[in-house]
Amino acid sequence: MSSTDQNQTVSTEAAPDSVNHEPETHAAPSSKSSGWVVFMFFMIGVVGSLLSGWILFPELLYSKKTQPIDFNHAVHLDNVSDGCESCHYFRDDGSFAGMPDLNSCIDCHEEAQTDDPEEIKFVDEYVTPGIEVPWLNHSKQPDCVFFSHSAHVIGADMSCESCHGDIGTSEHTRVYEENRLTGYSRDIWGHSISRLGKPKAGDPLPMKMNDCAKCHKEETGHKGACFQCHK
């Protein structure tokens, strides 16, 4: 479009070059063989755009970070009595403690119990100087979201795995992929950039608003009022 527009504005000067070019471009689709060429170029453009959007764009969009300590969930789960709730517990007012603070860890880890370099690093860098570990939270939601763990875990009797996946049996922490634009974890959007298909068994579920609404619609019959999940 823009090139023909330019030609029209220039044509008052009667530029012979532009006039000569126009018939060529208009004549091109008229022959069958060049129609296929145009279609091929179109498809190459479409496929190229999709590939760059689905493969290249996520690489650019997400930065990769590692947790400060390579935490072994499997070892801990074997040694505690109360499952996930041993460390990720409910407070007496019904709120959820989330990631345990240093005080919870110190009960067992005042001194390193093994020769594991990660545990020694944890004790030396965090326990002894009394610094909270800056864990990266894969499930962190924006400020406007209200999520009640007690409504889901106690009220609806859901297991931790049903949203967070098999994190409890992992031996190493995953790479934390942070969205460079929003600052949130890739887990919120879900690993599939197209959001098609289901996550692999054991993977955490995506946690966008539509994901909440979909499950609420299935389980309770309606998506719920806005204030149910917003604050």
Query: In this chain, which of 24, 82, 181, 227 binds another protein, going by CB under 8 A?
Result: 227
Q: Which two tokens stand for residue 214?
A: 């979909």
Residue 72: phi and psi, rounded to 5, are -105, 100
Comparing CA positions, the residue from 80, 78, 69 lying closest to residue 102 is 69
Q: Per rule CB under 8 A, is residue 155 in the interface with another protein? A: yes
What tokens does 94 get?
Answer: 């019904």
Stretch that binds another protein, among 17-25, 39-47, 129-137, 145-153 (CB under 8 A): 145-153
**How many CA atoms are closer than 13 Å to the CA of 148, on its beta-carbon side?**
14
Q: How far is the CB of 96 from another protein (least distance, A)?
A: 8
Question: Which of 28, 46, 120, 151: binder of another protein (CB under 8 A)?
Answer: 151
The region of 30-38, 97-105, 180-188, 223-231 touching another protein under the rule CB under 8 A is 223-231
Inter-residue contact 143 to 183 (CB < 8 Å): no
Q: Which residues of 103-128 are buried (b: 16+ CB within 10 A; e: fewer)?
A: eebeeeeeebeeeeebbeebbeebbe
CA distances from 5 to 8, 38, 104, 164 (A): 5, 22, 70, 56
Measured CA to CA, the distance from residue 68 to residue 133 in angstroms comes to 7
| Site membership for another protein, residue 95 (CB under 8 A) | yes
Q: Which is nearer to another protein, 90 or 135 (CB)?
A: 90
Region from 1-9, 38-46, 62-70, 219-227 binding another protein, contact rule CB under 8 A: 219-227
Under the binding rule (CB under 8 A), the answer on residue 150 touching another protein is yes
**Minimum Å distance from CB 183 to another protein?**
15
Q: Cα separation of 111 and 127, whole Å? A: 8
Q: Which is nearer to another protein, 83 or 94 (CB)?
A: 94
Count residues contacting another protein (CB under 8 A)? 24
Considering the complex, what minimum distance in angstroms separates the CB of residue 81 from another protein? 20
Q: Which residues bind another protein (CB under 8 A)?
A: 90, 92-95, 142-144, 146, 148, 150-151, 154-155, 220-223, 225-228, 230-231
